[in-house]
Amino acid sequence: MPGMEVYGAEERKEVMDVLETGALFRYGHENIRKGMWKALEFEAEVCKQTGAKHAHAVTSGTTAVTSIMAAAGIGHGDEVIVPPYTFVAPVEAAFLAGALPVFAEIDESLCLSPEGIEAAVTPNTKAVLLIHMCGAAADLEGILAVCKKHNLVLLEDCGQAMGASYKGKSVGLHGVAGAFSFDYFKITTCGEGGMTITNDEAIYKNIDQVSDHGHTHEGNNRGMEDHYIMGSNFRIGEINAAIGLAQMRKLPWILEQNRKHKKYIKVRLKQIDGLTFRKLGDEEGDSATFINFFLPTKQHAEKLFAQLSEDGVGGVANWYTNMYHFINQWDHIKEVKFPSKLAIHNLDAPQDYSSIYLPKSEDIISRLACIGISCTWKENELAAYTDKIVAAIKKVL
C-alpha cells in the first residue's frame, strides 16, 4: 500500500517539528508553537492538490463520513442509498447517524450505478452515499443526473481514492462534500486520520464545528468561543496531521509510479483472452492503487485464488470471501446488531436486510480479482510478479 511504503525522513521531520515545540493540539497555544500549524498546513496541501475551496482534517475516514453527513443535514430517519461492496465504515456511519441505509446495485465500475440508484429511490430517499472504491471514481455523470432528477444530496466517500479525479475534478467535489481516510492502509496515511473537502462554505463551517463540539474557531480565546450547534470530538492531533502533510507532498510521485506500474500489468493482462476489466469512467483520473479484473465465471475466480495460493503469490484480494468488503460477509450489519438502540430499531427498515439479494453485485464481486499496486516496485520485481499472476491465470482459463 503506497502511503506506508514511502514513510521516511520527511514524515519524521514534520513530526519532530511538533515534538520539539510540544504543541500537540491543533488550536491555540501560539506562545509555544513557533508558527507551526500542521493541521492547517495539511488542509492547505489537500486544498492545493484537490482544488477544493475548503478542507478540514479529522481523526479518521469514518469520522470524516460522519461529519459530512451531519453537515449536509442527513440523519434521523433519512433513507441513504449505499452500495453492498465497500469497507463497512460508511454503512455503519449511516446507521449510527440515525439514517436508514438502502442497499442498491453496483456495476462493473465497482461502485453504485445510476440504474442501481434509480431503482432504489423512494419518496423518503434523501441522499446517496457514493463510495469510490479501489482508487477510482464511480460513473459520476450518470449518478449526478439521477441525484438531480430526484433532488438527492450526493455525498462522496473517497476513503480509498485520494488523488483520483473524474473529468478533471477531484473526487469529493462532485456532490456536497467528500471524505477521505488516512488510515494505515491508504494511498496517503498518517496512521489514523481523515479529511473532508467541500466547495460550499456553509457545509465547511458545519464540518468544522461538528467535529469539535460546536466550537466556531473564531477569535483567539477558545474558552470564550460561541457554540451555535452541538458536535463531538473528531479533532486530528498535530502529530498525525504532520505525517499527513508529509504524505500529501508525496502524492504526485505515488500517483506517477502507481500509474506506470498499473499500465504495465494491464498491458500484460489484456493479452489474455477471457479477462475483462473494471469500467473506468475516466482512466486518466484513476489513482491506480489497484488493478481490478473479472474472470468469466465465479468458478474461474475460485480456481484462480486457489492457484495463486498454491503458487505462493500474494497481493491479489478476493473481496467475495475476504475482508468484510461485501454484504455476504455482513451478518452483524444485516441483523443491525449494536449494543444500544439505534433510530432504525424504532423505525420501519426500508429493506429486509436479512434477505437482501443483489444479483448483479453478487455476480460482479464473485468474479472479481483485485491486485494491489506497489509504488516502490523495481522494474524486475514488477515483471516477475506479473509473470506469476499471468501464469496462474493461464492455468485456470
Ligand X SMILES: Cc1ncc(COP(=O)(O)O)c(C=O)c1O
Q: Number of residues interacting with ligand X: please give it, by CB under 6 A.
A: 15
DSSP 205-245: HHHHHHTBTTB---SS-GGG--BSS---B-BPPHHHHHHHH
* Least distance between ligand X and beta carbon 61 (Å): 2
* Least distance between ligand X and beta carbon 347 (Å): 24
Q: Is 61 in the site for ligand X (CB under 6 A)?
A: yes
Interatomic CA distance for residues 33 and 239, integer angstroms: 13
Q: Say if residues 195 and 180 touch (Cβ distance below 8 Å).
A: yes
- Answer for which of 87, 294, 319, 385 binds ligand X (CB under 6 A) is 87
Q: Which is nearer to ligand X, 62 or 206 (CB)?
A: 62
Alpha helices, H only, the chain: 2-5, 9-21, 38-50, 61-71, 89-96, 114-120, 140-150, 201-210, 238-270, 298-310, 331-334, 343-346, 359-366, 379-396
Interatomic CA distance for residues 173 and 164, integer angstroms: 11
Interatomic CA distance for residues 332 and 335, integer angstroms: 5
- Answer for which of 194, 244, 281, 285 binds ligand X (CB under 6 A) is 194
Q: Is 89 in the site for ligand X (CB under 6 A)?
A: yes
Residue of closest CB approach to ligand X: 61
Name 346's Cβ contacts closer than 8 Å, sequence gap at least 6: none
Interatomic CA distance for residues 326 and 315, integer angstroms: 18
- Answer for which of 49, 66, 67, 86 binds ligand X (CB under 6 A) is 86
Plot region of 213 (φ>0 → left; ψ -120 to 50 → alpha; else → beta): left
Plot region of 346 (φ>0 → left; ψ -120 to 50 → alpha; else → beta): alpha
* Least distance between ligand X and beta carbon 286 (Å): 16
Q: Which is nearer to ligand X, 79 or 183 (CB)?
A: 183
Q: Which is nearer to ligand X, 131 or 176 (CB)?
A: 131
Q: Is 181 in the site for ligand X (CB under 6 A)?
A: yes
Paired sense of beta strands 169-170 and 165-166, if any: antiparallel
Per-position x/- string for 198-237, each x denoting binding to ligand X as judged by CB under 6 A, each - no binding:
----------------------------------------
Options 30-38, 81-89, 265-273, 305-313: segment touching ligand X (CB under 6 A): 81-89
- Answer for which of 49, 60, 165, 289 binds ligand X (CB under 6 A) is 60
- Answer for which of 90, 178, 231, 281 binds ligand X (CB under 6 A) is 90
Q: Is 131 in the site for ligand X (CB under 6 A)?
A: yes
Options 22-30, 94-102, 154-162, 377-385: segment touching ligand X (CB under 6 A): 154-162
| Annotated catalytic residue, options 186, 205, 250, 262 | 186
* Least distance between ligand X and beta carbon 30 (Å): 30
DSSP 255-286: HHHHHHHHHHHHHHHHTSTT-EE---S-GGG-
Would residue 186 show up in a list of annotated catalytic residues for this protein? Answer: yes
- Answer for which of 105, 183, 212, 362 binds ligand X (CB under 6 A) is 183
* Least distance between ligand X and beta carbon 192 (Å): 6
Q: Say if residues 179 and 156 touch (Cβ distance below 8 Å).
A: yes
Location of C-alpha cell 456536497: 176
Please give the grid coordinates belonging to residue 296. Answer: 468469466
Active site residues: 186
Residues near ligand X (CB under 6 A) are 60-62, 65, 86-87, 89-90, 131, 157, 159-160, 181, 183, 194
